[in-house]
Structure 1
Amino acid sequence: MPLKSPHRSLLSHLSLLLLAASLLTGAHAASAALPPVADFFGPSSFGGAQLSPNGQYVAAKVPGPSGRDRLVVVELATSKAQVVAEFSDGDVDDFQWVNDGRLLFDCTDKDVGAGDVNAAPGLFAVDRDGKNFRQLAQRRSSFITTPAAAKLLPWHTYMLPQRGAQDSDAVYVRSVSFEPGGAVRSEQLLRLDTRTGRSTGVPMPGSVQNWVLDARGEPRMAITLADGKSTIWLREEDKAGDARGDMASGKWRAITTFDAWVSSAGGFTPLDFDADGRLYVAARHRSDKIAIHTFDLAAGKVDPVPRFAVQRYDFSGHLIRSGDKLVGVRYLGDTYATEWLDADMKALQEKVDALLPGLVNLISLPRRPEAPFVLVTTYSDMQPRTYFVYNRDTGKLDLLGQSQPKLDATKMGRQHLVTYPARDGLPIPALLTLPHGAKSTDKLPMVVLVHGGPWVRGAVWEWSADTQFLASRGYAVLEPDFRGSTGHGAKHLTAGFRQWGRAMQDDVADGTRWAIEQGVADPARICIAGASYGGYATLMGLIKDPDLYRCGINWVGVTDIKLMYGGSWFHSSDLPAQYIRYGMPRLIGDLDKEAEQLMAVSPVEQASRLRQPLLMAYGGADRRVPRAHGTRFRDAVAATNKDVEWIEYPEEGHGWRLPKNRIDFWSRVEKFLDRNIGPGVQKQDN
């Protein structure tokens, strides 16, 4: 993968992007034609941006003339831009600033599915002017090592998401050890000089899963996993106050140990250190909701008084620093938001919000600001993410790029956060999206879209390609955060333990009936759909509540619960061994002690009861939910149901990586829904 010449102006490209600003004001001409599937699921037109530590430059990932993503650096004071890295046969992927003059990045190939990937991302570094390019890690393992390859780190070396000090040519990277199935066993931390390629390992207190850097960008905490327990370790500073002074001796002290899969006393998540060494953590601490607390390192205790809490939700997010000062908290509530602790930042937020009214405007700061520039990421339920640079001195807002510039935001559906009662009284939050111009009493055809996980947060108010595509075709979309979903407190989470196909499934059905009672949905035209766990819930919904759902769409969904607990010679799963042994029996059910119950909620065992039209899609290279889940259910249901459409993308994994497959899949979904609950049904009825 040779590096091409970096000396190429991007000014013309940026000028074209600026012309697309009319999207935010709804200036696109209305069109009677539906927006094409490709406009929702084609490749993104902008891969995000990051400010240099001093705030004088911005790096961004944008597609070139060939469609390959390349790395671009813009000097903000002059708007001078140039490509600093690109590949002739691949794409720049993740990137980060090493310091004000140098960047670290890896690569991928957007044209290759998960099953055809034959190389690791590698690691590369380059100066902001495109000079002094250096490869730092191999992309393939080899039994024969050339002299050049011997100087490179092994292929299993990856970038660290958390930023270091960004004041030298050195960064921290991860050397990952994998289980046979592909799950991460542990991560070794390396301090890597991006100019010389030399690296030094940080001593590990065990099988480290995550590392935490302090305010100076040095490793201070590690989280290990063993025998189903997580242990948080602290690396003590030396007498001079330098945490790196102990790297050679590896002096680690265990702070706490707790259950890795089920919330328990003593459990918390380290968030960040401030400049004074104070540790901030996310913890429940005898409360239903997770909040930010401080942690007394000497006493080994969480301060019982929360420093920051989110109304109605568990805290999820990060702290924001400017220089050595803690200035804000980015968190997920109904959507993403920022609580600024600094008066100047509050005023800045107000100015940006006035320029971009009615939108969520997330401000990103440089690490050590020496210039007036900040990044603004803006979006809404109707507006895909768009990126700006704001000049605090002049008040000028310049557009950097848009993720989906071809879509008219004024024609998207509106999203509403709703809550309905489950049959046992538990309140279930959900997201309801209505097509453009529709009312909540129109008795629309509806898709109940069940999120995967299932132990994740589902309903977030923001633009979603899946949801908005369905809305553009005239469907209401209901997305319930059934019990077991995270983000809504311990009671809501634990109520879903061992409830696959039972109370979790009932929550989805109760939401469907609620939508009918409210006049949102036409009871004769409702389809259930979802991926992964959502695919499982789709099959169980069709089986358990045949009166509610006229059809179902399952992609990469679990069909055989027993198959989740162990592989065989012809397939393997990438679920971590510790999760299968210690987590799944408590979260899903014990395969030996609760075999009868699990058989009753395993779709493959109930396949003969499913009689509605069904669309199934699987990836041939899926290691999370192997293809065998799909083929076993397809073969089992074939005896009693002839209206089953099977799609297989041999090169895909757990979801569709390739734009051509995303476009093909959702085109099939559109036709399937049209036949069963959409305009096609109305035409037949007439």
Structure 2
Amino acid sequence: MDEVLMLRSALLPALLPALLLASAPPALAQAAATTPAAAVAAAADNTPLIERAKIFGNPSKSNGKISPDGKWLSWIAPRDGVLNVWVAPAGEPSKARAMTEEKLRPIRSSFWSPDSKTLLFIQDKGGDENFLLYGVDVASGKQSNYTPFEKTRAMVVQISSKVKDRILVGLNNRDPRWHDVYSLDLASGKLTLVQKNEGYAGFMADQTLTLRLAQKPRGDGGSAYFRVNGGQIDSTPLAEVGLEDSQTTDPLSFTADGQTLYWSDSRGRNTSALIAQDLASGKGTVLAQDARADIANALFDPQTGQAQAYTVEYLQHEYLPLSDQLKDDLAFLKKNLQGQFTIASRTEADDKWLVHLDSVTAPQSSWLYERKGQRLSRLYISRPELEGAPLSQMHPREIKARDGLTLVSYLTLPKAVDPAGSGKASRPVPMVLLVHGGPWARDRYGYNGTHQWLANRGYAVLSVNFRGSTGFGKQFISAGDLQWGRKMHDDLLDAVQWAVQQGVTKADQVAIMGGSYGGYATLAGMAFTPTTFACGVDIVGPSNLFTLLQTIPPYWEAGKQQFYKRMGDPTTEAGRALLKERSPLNFAQNIQRPLLIGQGANDPRVNVRESEQIVASMAAQQIPVTYVAFPDEGHGFARPVNNIAFNAVTENFLGKCLGGRAEPIGGAIKASTAQVKHGAEFAPGLSEALK
């Protein structure tokens, strides 16, 4: 799940959503006393301080796309301080105009209709994730709400280059658990029911927008896939997947003639391979596989739908061609773009691509690539204010867990101890262990605003793909089953020990921080291993796994059995005992080190009670904790003023705990909607900022 949380070209919701993925992981947490050594190190750091707002404020432009007909460029950019959708003629980017007028909540992504007449986007209210689908006509500027329903989450089922005037959308306004499939006429806005959903996780259509595949959850946490013929769903499955393969096997797309179905498929192997299945015979052909990492994405010909290249992401992201069709283009881009590139959109004629470039130590940029003549032209830099800033290099590392598993991790060091970007620290510095959400997600190589911010403040930053993380095969995911707060946490502890042994940091100078599942890991670290971390920052993290599973959104019904099998089953006595044992709330009395908690009041994934419960428990036992809530946010902080405010509190909190540098809180809190519910006196500068 990325920013476009509902945009799936295949089956509706992924059977197991990235449960605890913060949409914009903010910052770190409270602090203990500054150690003399850390204070001296901070004072000796002459690296220019990068302003918080330059890292976490609005980008100048982002999410660039080229229209299917190649005539238009679109992107997301501020309008009166709020991110909105913009469009410009492809040959004249300077003539861009804003197409939307959001005044409060940023639009974070948009996409083109197949006829290139409409820009589509999704938007919720205050982070409630009841995303509705909107469109704005490029010629007239008229904006339409295509799904004007209450308590409804709209999802894109299929967009086809062959059918220009319609798309398929899923709506759960009849039954909040299941998405019925509708045909949406883009010109009139008329919705026509195509398939009533009676218990299916989702549906997949071909390039004629004809439903061809239905996914049904199984009681063991797996899935069964059924053919759909003329609106009738077969009684015998085309394919079945057990729990072990449930997160590493997915149908990707059909060819334009409807005869071939592509899969990312781990059945019979550990990592997902790219498979082409002939639907007439049922035979599957392996097109590509990698023993190190799953192949989860591919590039498909806009006309024929045939697979042309695929992506592998082990330590870094890489495109590999399947034939000579794109071989020269990919080689040219690799040679001429200094960094990691992503092909964001392609014209229907496939003569132009819009490519995003990530150089890690420079702000991200977007480029127009014209295949004829192999011409590259830069369209924009996402954060020009960061050009020339002292950004640090990120270094992929393979760390061994105590049982031999390889943990792909990413280390960023402050300029003061690694000016050349070698990945070797000249001396130990305080470190922040930054834990990703999910947990069925992964950390990646590339520019990371949180890494850059913390490194600039004087901290080493380490992100670890602990067991249960995705992308490294089904065995690695399954190794995390029923291991919340146990072996998953051990992996984090092993990574900290590695960092100490490598001279990156010292054992008593490590903070833990994360959003979503990373917030849970923070609470687990503070409660289960109370003297390991100097302090912790929990952002929208669950404290009670039993109440977490009670309050997950109804539209995650299809994934419920997977949650139970991988986390603990609350319907059994043994499962309840496990969930109780792994819930930090039940061990809050053990917390000894400073803790900072941030929460969105409208969070549909991790209910606000998850933060309120542990804060109340700690307060009752007179254990210091600072709690900051945002009434207009959900699972993470989408509004930059709120993200900046929480990060302002965080870096000052860390400054006291670890001795790093901090920009004063200043007016950041007043500019946001932050409500300090408890413990302002425990966070340096917070009480003063509230006056």
TM-score range, shorter chain: 0.7 to 0.9
1:314 corresponding residue in structure 2: 294
Q: Is residue 2:191 matched to residue 1:209?
A: no
Task: Give secondary structure in 1 for the equivalent of 2:637.
Answer: coil
- Per-residue deviation, 1:196: 3.0
Distance 1:391 1:294, change over 3 A: closer
Q: How does 1:136-535 map to 2 (within 5 A)?
A: 137=146, 139-141=148-150, 156=152, 158=154, 160=156, 162-165=158-161, 167-177=163-173, 185-204=177-196, 206-216=198-208, 218-225=210-217, 227=219, 230-236=223-229, 246=230, 250=232, 252=234, 254-256=236-238, 258=240, 261-263=243-245, 268-276=249-257, 277-300=259-282, 303=284, 306-324=286-304, 325-343=306-324, 345-357=326-338, 359-364=339-344, 366-369=346-349, 372-393=351-372, 395-408=374-387, 411-436=390-415, 438-439=417-418, 440-441=424-425, 442-457=427-442, 459-535=443-519
Distance 1:294 1:345, change over 3 A: closer
Task: Give secondary structure in 1 for the equivalent of 2:384.
Answer: coil
Instruction: Output the amino acid matched with 2:600.
Output: G
Residue-by-residue CA offset, 1:16-43 (whole Å, 9 max, x unaligned): xxxxxxxxxxxxxxx9541111111112
Name which of structure 1's ranges 496-505 and 221-230 shifts more when overlaid on structure 2. 221-230
Residue-by-residue CA offset, 1:112-148 (whole Å, 9 max, x unaligned): 7326x9x86343341x4336x463525355xxxxxxx
Q: Is residue 2:76 matched to residue 1:83?
A: no
Instruction: Output the amino acid matched with 1:379.
Output: D
TM-score by length of 1: 0.80
- Per-residue deviation, 1:88: 6.6
Residue-by-residue CA offset, 1:389-438 (whole Å, 9 max, x unaligned): 12334544332233322213662121111122222222222111112353
Name which of structure 1's ranges 462-471 and 158-167 shifts more when overlaid on structure 2. 158-167
> Could you tell me how far apart the structure 2 residues matched to 1:615 and 1:634 are?
10
Q: How does 1:568-647 map to 2 (within 5 A)?
A: 576-580=556-560, 582-591=561-570, 592-640=573-621, 642-647=623-628
Instruction: Output the amino acid matched with 2:410.
Output: L
From 123, 126, 131, the equivalent of 2:134 is 123
- Per-residue deviation, 1:308: 0.9
Task: Give secondary structure in 2 for the equivalent of 1:626.
Answer: coil
Sequence identity percentage: 26
Contact residue 612 and residue 641 of structure 1 kept, 8 A: no
> Could you tell me how far apart the structure 1 residues matched to 2:373 and 2:363 are?
26
Contact residue 83 and residue 108 of structure 2 kept, 8 A: no
Contact residue 545 and residue 583 of structure 2 kept, 8 A: yes
- Per-residue deviation, 1:463: 1.1
- The answer for unaligned runs of 5 or more in structure 1 is 1-30, 142-154, 237-245, 682-686
Instruction: Output the amino acid matched with 1:171.
Output: I
TM-score by length of 2: 0.80
Contact residue 165 and residue 218 of structure 1 kept, 8 A: no
From 20, 41, 62, the equivalent of 2:77 is 62
Residue-by-residue CA offset, 1:528-560 (whole Å, 9 max, x unaligned): 111222112112212333343111111111111
**Looking at CA atoms only, which structure, 1 or 2, has the larger radius of gyration?**
1
Instruction: Output the amino acid matched with 2:85.
Output: R
Task: Give secondary structure in 2 for the equivalent of 1:448.
Answer: strand
- Per-residue deviation, 1:270: 0.8
Task: Give secondary structure in 1 for the equivalent of 2:586.
Answer: helix
Contact residue 255 and residue 300 of structure 1 kept, 8 A: no
Distance 1:254 1:125, change over 3 A: farther
> Could you tell me how far apart the structure 2 residues matched to 1:162 and 1:335 are?
29
> Could you tell me how far apart the structure 2 residues matched to 1:573 and 1:363 are?
33
Task: Give secondary structure in 2 for the equivalent of 1:223.
Answer: strand
Instruction: Output the amino acid matched with 2:299.
Output: L
Residue-by-residue CA offset, 1:20-78 (whole Å, 9 max, x unaligned): xxxxxxxxxxx9541111111112322322222233432333333564513313133x6
- Per-residue deviation, 1:482: 1.1
Residue-by-residue CA offset, 1:482-539 (whole Å, 9 max, x unaligned): 1111211222111111111111111111111111011111222111111222112112
> Could you tell me how far apart the structure 2 residues matched to 1:60 and 1:176 are?
29
Instruction: Output the amino acid matched with 1:196.
Output: S
> Could you tell me how far apart the structure 2 residues matched to 1:578 and 1:253 are?
19
Name which of structure 1's ranges 619-628 and 163-172 shifts more when overlaid on structure 2. 163-172
Residue-by-residue CA offset, 1:178-197 (whole Å, 9 max, x unaligned): 76xxxx52222222222233
Q: How many residues align?
A: 605
Contact residue 84 and residue 129 of structure 1 kept, 8 A: no
Contact residue 84 and residue 102 of structure 2 kept, 8 A: no
Task: Give secondary structure in 1 for the equivalent of 2:148.
Answer: coil
> Could you tell me how far apart the structure 1 residues matched to 2:246 and 2:145 are?
41
> Could you tell me how far apart the structure 1 residues matched to 2:59 and 2:186 are?
29
- Per-residue deviation, 1:445: 0.6
Instruction: Output the amino acid matched with 2:290.
Output: V
> Could you tell me how far apart the structure 2 residues matched to 1:563 and 1:335 are?
37
> Could you tell me how far apart the structure 2 residues matched to 1:449 and 1:68 are?
27
Instruction: Output the amino acid matched with 2:343.
Output: I
> Could you tell me how far apart the structure 1 residues matched to 2:172 and 2:591 are?
43
Residue-by-residue CA offset, 1:283-309 (whole Å, 9 max, x unaligned): 1121111111122434546x3x52111
From 648, 660, 663, the equivalent of 2:629 is 648
- Per-residue deviation, 1:474: 1.2
Task: Give secondary structure in 1 for the equivalent of 2:270.
Answer: coil
> Could you tell me how far apart the structure 2 residues matched to 1:88 and 1:290 are?
40
Contact residue 603 and residue 633 of structure 2 kept, 8 A: yes
In angstroms, what is the RMSD of aligned CA positions? Answer: 3.1
- The answer for unaligned runs of 5 or more in structure 2 is 1-45, 419-423, 663-691
2:670 corresponding residue in structure 1: none
Contact residue 49 and residue 456 of structure 2 kept, 8 A: yes
- Per-residue deviation, 1:656: 0.9
Distance 1:361 1:561, change over 3 A: closer
Task: Give secondary structure in 2 for the equivalent of 1:537.
Answer: helix
From 553, 557, 563, the equivalent of 2:537 is 553
- Per-residue deviation, 1:332: 3.2
Instruction: Output the amino acid matched with 1:400.
Output: L
1:12 corresponding residue in structure 2: none
